[in-house]
Amino acid sequence: MKPIDLVQGTLDLLILKSLALEPMHGWAIAARIRQLSNDVLLVQQGSLYPALQRLEYQGWIKAKWGVSEQNRRAKYYQLTRAGRRQLDREAAAWERLAAAVTLVVRTV
């Protein structure tokens, strides 16, 4: 299947969700998204980075340098408390949107 292009806001939601369990670095986030969506959402991996900057800038995630599994220096991102709240908000909004769209599509 061809990868689906994602609208900016949705990417934010995916990232926040991925980080909900544990802190990760960029590559791992991309892998997690792919994994969780059963390979449907093949994000253009580089576009993670502007999104990560934006999320960090808005205070929903914060970054820390650490050492990766390959013993390399990597930047780890984790959810902040505000980020957790934002995740809940966005998830709820998404569900509402998805339900509404489904309704429309199903009915017609």
Partner 1 sequence: MRFAQMLLMRLRALVRGEAADRELSDEMRAHVEHLVAEYIARGLTPDAAREAARREFGPVTQLTEESRDARGVVWLANGWQDVRYSARLMRRTPGFAVAAILTIALGIGATTAMFSVVYGVVLRPLPYREPDRLVNLWSTAIKRGLPRANVGMANVYDWRARNHVFEDIAALRRVANFNLTGQGEPERLSGSAVSSNLFPVLGVTPLIGRTFTEDEDEIGHEHVALLTYPLWVRRFGADPGIVGRSITLNGEPHTVVGVMRPDFAFPTREYQIYTPLTFDPEELVNRMNYSYLALARLRPGASPAQAQAEMTVLAAQIEHEHPKENDGIGVEVVPMQDDDVAAVRTSLYILLAAVAAMLLIGCANLTNLLVARALARQRELAVRAALGAARARLIMQSIGELVPMLIAGGALGLLGAAWVVSALVPLLPAGVPRVENVGLHLPVLAGTAATLAAIAVFVGVWPAFEASRGGLNAVADVARGHTGGRLRSRVRDVLVVAQIAATLWLVIGAALLVRSFGELRQVRPGFNPERVYSLHLVMPRSKYRTGRDVAAYGDRILERVRALPEVVSAALVNRLPLAGGTQTGGIELEGIDPKATGVGNVDYRSVTPDYFRTLEIPLLSGRSFAETDTETAQPVAIIDERLAKIVGTIADPIGRRVRIPIMNLPWLRIVGVVGHIRHDRLDEDTRPQIYFPYKQRTQDRMALAVRTRTDPDLIGGSLVSAIRSVDPEQAVYDARTLEAVVDRSVAERWLQTVLLGSFAGIALVLASIGVYGVIAYAVGQRRREFGIRLALGASRAEIVGLVMRRGVLLFVCGAAIGLAVAAASARVLASLLFNISGFDLMSLGVSTVILFVVALAACGLPAQRAASVDPSQALRAE
Site for partner 1, rule CB under 8 A: 25-27, 30, 44-47, 49-54, 56-59, 72-75, 82
CB atoms within 10 A of CB 106: 7
Query: In whole angstroms, how close is the CB of 106 to partner 1 at the nearest point?
Result: 34
CB-nearer residue toward partner 1: 67 or 98: 67
The separation between CA 65 and the C-alpha centre of its own chain, rounded to angstroms, equals: 19
Q: What is the distance between the alpha carbons of residues 79 and 72, in angstroms, rounded to a whole number?
A: 22
Query: In whole angstroms, how close is the CB of 63 to partner 1 at the nearest point?
Result: 9
- 94: tokens are 């998404």
CB-nearer residue toward partner 1: 74 or 91: 74
Query: In whole angstroms, how close is the CB of 53 to partner 1 at the nearest point?
Result: 4
CB-nearer residue toward partner 1: 47 or 78: 47
CB-nearer residue toward partner 1: 8 or 102: 8
Query: In whole angstroms, how close is the CB of 17 to partner 1 at the nearest point?
Result: 20
Q: In whole angstroms, how far apart are CA 22 and each of 15, 87, 104? A: 12, 14, 36
Across the chain, which distance is largest between two alpha carbons, in Å?
55
In the numeric block, the tokens 């991102």 are attached to 77
